[in-house]
Amino acid sequence: GQQLNQSPQSMFIQEGEDVSMNCTSSSIFNTWLWYKQDPGEGPVLLIALYKAGELTSNGRLTAQFGITRKDSFLNISASIPSDVGIYFCAGDNTDKLIFGTGTRLQVFP
């Protein structure tokens, strides 16, 4: 089936640093979504992208819908300790979402 590859698999950064992660697919998607999951909780929607080339921000988070429609990027600026968690990308497939493998982010003070 369809798969989304996220990279890096994990990141260890210092508080205040900027973070970049990406998601690639072998298939075209019409929608890209980015979620964050804290330990023991359900994922929370961060940003939704609906148009190729679209760049959308949510506070310190910025995400882009790749021109080829096969990739998406998430950037976090000036990281803080509460940014710790697992970040998932997801692409639409009719009534379903295909989720990426996740990027685990650790932020050290």
Partner 1 sequence: SQTIHQWPATLVQPVGSPLSLECTVEGTSNPNLYWYRQAAGRGLQLLFYSVGIGQISSEVPQNLSASRPQDRQFILSSKKLLLSDSGFYLCAWSHGYEQYFGPGTRLTVT
- Candidates 35, 11, 16; CA nearest to 97 is 35
* Site residues, partner 1 (CB under 8 A): 31, 33, 35, 40-45, 48, 50, 88, 90, 92, 95-97, 99-102
Q: Which residue number, 19 or 46, has a Cβ lying nearer to partner 1? A: 46
Q: Is the peptide bond preceding residue 8 cis, with omega within 30 degrees of 0?
A: yes
Q: Which residue number, 77 or 99, has a Cβ lying nearer to partner 1? A: 99
- DSSP-H helix ranges across 3-70: none
Contact 97, 91 (CB under 8 A): yes
Q: Which residue type sits at 34?
A: W
> In whole angstroms, how close is the CB of 52 to partner 1 at the nearest point?
15
Contact 106, 83 (CB under 8 A): no
Q: Which residue number, 14 or 41, has a Cβ lying nearer to partner 1? A: 41
> In whole angstroms, how close is the CB of 16 to partner 1 at the nearest point?
27
> In whole angstroms, how close is the CB of 53 to partner 1 at the nearest point?
18
* Residue owning tokens 């295909």: 98
Q: Which residue number, 37 or 62, has a Cβ lying nearer to partner 1? A: 37
> In whole angstroms, how close is the CB of 97 to partner 1 at the nearest point?
6
